[in-house]
Structures are given as C-alpha cells and as structure tokens.
Amino acid sequence: MGADSQPGHIDQIKQTNAGAVYRLIDQTGPVSRIDLSRLAQLAPASITKIVREMLEAHLVQETEIQEPGSRGRPAVGLMVETQAWHFLSVRINRGEINLALRDLSSKLVVEEQLDLPLEDGTPFLDRIVNHVDHFFIRHQQKLERLTAIAITLPGVIDTERGIIHSMPFYSVQSVPLGEALEAHTGVPVFIQHDISAWTMAEGLFGASRGARDVIQVVIDHNVGAGVITDGRLLHGGSSSLVEIGHTQVDPYGKRCYCGNHGCLETIASIDSVLELAQQRMSQSMSSMLHGTPLTVESLCEAARQGDLLARDIIVGVGTNVGRILAIMVNLFNPQKILIGSPLNLASDVLFPAISACINQQALPAYSRNTLVEATHFSNRGTMAGAALVKEALYNGTLLIRLLQG
C-alpha cells in the first residue's frame, strides 16, 4: 500500500458519508443541518459541504420548518428531491416480465406486465434488451432523468458482476445482463435474486421495517429464504442464497431437481402442495375440494371454512417449514419471521402451525420473542427492484454517480 491507495480510500469515505447523510435526510427529513450533523456524527463543515453538492445536483431541497410552539423565524430543513429522477425496475419470473418506471421515492409512474415465453428462438439477453428498449419508447413522454436499472429474478446470479449463471425456467448460461444493459443504456444496472431483493424491500418499505434481525421465508413455485442479520442482508453481495428449499425433510422423499431426495421444496412448493391435495382428494370424498377446480385460492378458502383435508394439507406445509425455521431461529434469533406465500390466504391455519413448531423445537429464550407475520408485498410487481436502488443510494454507490453528473 502506498500513496496511490490514498485517493481511493478518501473516495470511499466520501461515498459512505454522502450515502449516510442522504439516508438520514430521506428517513427523517425535513431535518436541519445541525440535527444532521448530530445524527450522522459528522462535523458541521462536512455536512455543509455534502449538502451543498446534493443541493446543486437537485438530489435534496430546502424547506422551512416551524418548530411547534415556536414563534421565532422558521428553521431551514432539508428534504430529498425525488420526482425529477426515475429508475426502471424489472422483474422476471416464470413466463412473464414486469417493467416499471418509478421515481426516487419509489412511487410508481407506470408499470406493465408482459409475456416472456419460456421457449423462444431469440437469445435471452436480446429479448430483455428489446423489452427495455420498447418500454422506454412507449413511455418516453413520462420519463424524467433516468438514474438506474434494477432487475430481480430467480436463479444463480453473480450480483457483483451482473451475470446470470442459471435460471429455473429459462435456458440461460452465464449471461452478462448487467454489463450489456449498462453499455446499452449508460446507467448503472443492479441485479439481485428475487427473494433477496424482496427481503430488502420488506426491510426498507414493508413488514420488517426497522427490525434488525429478520427471517423471510417464501413459499411459492420455489421455496427459499432471505435473512437480515444486524440490519444487513446475509449473502447480499454474492451469488449465495439461504437455501432452505433444499434442506432435506424426508430422506425417503421425492427426488428433487437439485440432485437430493425429499427437499423441503419437493413438499412445500405450491406445485407439490396442489399435487398432494389432488392425490388425497380420492381418499376423502366428503372434502369441499371436490366440485371446484383445485387452485391455491380454493384450497385456502376450504381450509378457512374448516375443511379437514384442506386444513391438514396446509398444517402439513406449516409443520415442515416450521421445523426448518426452528433451527434458523436458534441460529439467527430473529425479532420477526415473515412468510411470503399465496398460502397466506389461509394464514389463520398456516401461521399457527409454523409458530407451534418453532415454540416446540427452538430455544425458548429465542422463540418467545419471535413474531410470525405476513409480508407486506407479494411475489409480484417491482418493489423488490426499488429496494436495490434505495440501497445503492444509501450505501453511496449510486448517489456518488448522480452527484458527479
């Protein structure tokens, strides 16, 4: 390490401080410079300098704040300026792509859901770039200054380099989506696994806001989890995931696509749950499930109305997920456990089954304080991408690029 490393180090500090100040203004604004200095634990001169740059770049604005009960001159407060800055949030899932323009407060400007067929002659990368191009052409009238593109999808992803190594529903092999889109549009591109990004979104805008330690379990076509520990997403900067879906719950169970047998996903994924319900209906002729097409909605509705078979199936999911969660509670001691699933339609049946397992199997000192709740957002839409952009503003990486113009 020599003198060469100094400027990089100073840039890093500047980036971190700018991000921290922006976060405080966003979360506590309108806020005075004096309060900012105290909250950020930075010298008033540093605050003045950072705020001046943000004002010049139109990322923050000044407003008057009148202290309650005070008849003196109003103080000057700072607020973030968000409307003139847009980003594109994209979500890719089985057979569909959602594209949305949002402003920097995450407010929706326009959103579209389009088909993305699993089989297509055109390479995956070209298809996504085409969708992005056409979306911008259709909505160029509404577009303010574009700051970034955020993409969330299932699969094995190198989030640092924006490479999609593989996806569950599309034939994709090491596609450099981030680099290609960045070169094509000139703005930074953030790519994250959909469950990780959704976990971040709940922490920033949703059901786990303010909680330091959170486990979020997603039960859908796939089964997975996101973990926030001490306020940070576990594995946030890597391609790893909290792979609870591929934890064995039945050594004699079905073979899973991962190569093992009896993974949680082979028992608790929506498709497996419906398959099991279908099989067991033939042994339970009195079940309400007969006579209507079997869907997640009809299964949950029957369970809520007390149908024994439907309840038994959903309690089974809760017990299997709860068993793995009990181990995770002992590892992470979370304040909150969030469940994101279409089965939340029967949360009255599902959540008590999960809680009962945790209470019986986890360390009492930990399970006592744990709440099981539903996620605020669903596994659709583009709020997960909004979390990636917000995080990049707060950690300074995106903010510094916007300040530099």
Pair 36, 21: CB distance under 8 Å: yes
Residue span 49-68 as binding mask against Zn ion, x where in contact by CB under 5 A, dash where not: --------------------
Alpha helices in 139-193 (DSSP H): 177-185
Which of residues 271 and 297 has its CB atom nearest to Zn ion in the complex?
Answer: 271
Which of residues 112 and 243 has its CB atom nearest to Zn ion in the complex?
Answer: 243
The sheet carrying 336-340 orders its strands as 232-233, 223-229, 214-219, 336-340, 371-374
3-state secondary structure of 325: helix
Site for Zn ion in 289-308 (CB under 5 A): none
Site for Zn ion in 215-254 (CB under 5 A): 246
Pair 82, 91: CB distance under 8 Å: no
Instruction: Give the Cα separation of 201 and 115 in Å (integer).
Output: 24
Listed residue (80, 206, 198) closest to 150, CA to CA: 198
Which among 6-14, 157-165, 169-177, 255-263 is the span making contact with Zn ion, rule CB under 5 A?
Answer: 255-263
User: Which DSSP state fits 346?
Assistant: G
Which of residues 263 and 358 has its CB atom nearest to Zn ion in the complex?
Answer: 263
Q: Can you point out the beta strands (E) in 85-207?
A: 85-93, 96-103, 108-115, 145-153, 156-158, 163-166, 189-193
- Which residues are within 8 A (CB) of 80 and not within 5 positions of it... i.e. 6 or more apart? 22, 25, 26, 29, 59, 60, 61, 104, 105
The two tokens of residue 235 are 């594995």
Which of residues 148 and 267 has its CB atom nearest to Zn ion in the complex?
Answer: 267
Q: Is omega for the bond preceding 30 within 30 degrees of 0, making it cis?
A: yes
Which of residues 10 and 258 has its CB atom nearest to Zn ion in the complex?
Answer: 258
Which among 28-36, 87-95, 256-264, 323-331 is the span making contact with Zn ion, rule CB under 5 A?
Answer: 256-264
The two tokens of residue 347 are 């949360």
The two tokens of residue 321 are 């997920």
Pair 175, 163: CB distance under 8 Å: yes
Report, in Å, the least distance between residue 243 CB and Zn ion: 8
Instruction: Give the Cα separation of 323 and 47 in Å (integer).
Output: 49
Which of residues 49 and 261 has its CB atom nearest to Zn ion in the complex?
Answer: 261
Report, in Å, the least distance between residue 265 CB and Zn ion: 6
Which of residues 113 and 239 has its CB atom nearest to Zn ion in the complex?
Answer: 239
Report, in Å, the least distance between residue 177 CB and Zn ion: 25
What's the angle, vertex CA 10, arms to CA 9 and CA 13, rounded to 5?
Answer: 90
Which of residues 222 and 298 has its CB atom nearest to Zn ion in the complex?
Answer: 222
Site for Zn ion in 100-159 (CB under 5 A): none
Which among 88-96, 258-266, 309-317, 363-371 is the span making contact with Zn ion, rule CB under 5 A?
Answer: 258-266
Among the listed residues 258, 308, 331, 371, the single contact to Zn ion using CB under 5 A: 258
Report, in Å, the least distance between residue 245 CB and Zn ion: 7
Report, in Å, the least distance between residue 144 CB and Zn ion: 44
Report, in Å, the least distance between residue 266 CB and Zn ion: 7
310 binds Zn ion (CB under 5 A): no
Which of residues 193 and 246 has its CB atom nearest to Zn ion in the complex?
Answer: 246
Which of residues 266 and 347 has its CB atom nearest to Zn ion in the complex?
Answer: 266
Among the listed residues 219, 256, 303, 392, the single contact to Zn ion using CB under 5 A: 256
Give the total of residues touching Zn ion (CB under 5 A). Answer: 4
- Residue given tokens 């299997």 in the structure block: 320
Q: What's CA 35's distance to the chain center, in Å?
A: 31
Report, in Å, the least distance between residue 330 CB and Zn ion: 22
Alpha helices in 4-123 (DSSP H): 5-28, 33-40, 44-56
Report, in Å, the least distance between residue 260 CB and Zn ion: 5
Which among 23-31, 74-82, 150-158, 257-265 is the span making contact with Zn ion, rule CB under 5 A?
Answer: 257-265
Report, in Å, the least distance between residue 306 CB and Zn ion: 33
Site for Zn ion in 259-278 (CB under 5 A): 263
Report, in Å, the least distance between residue 172 CB and Zn ion: 19
> Which residues are at the interface with Zn ion (CB under 5 A)?
246, 256, 258, 263
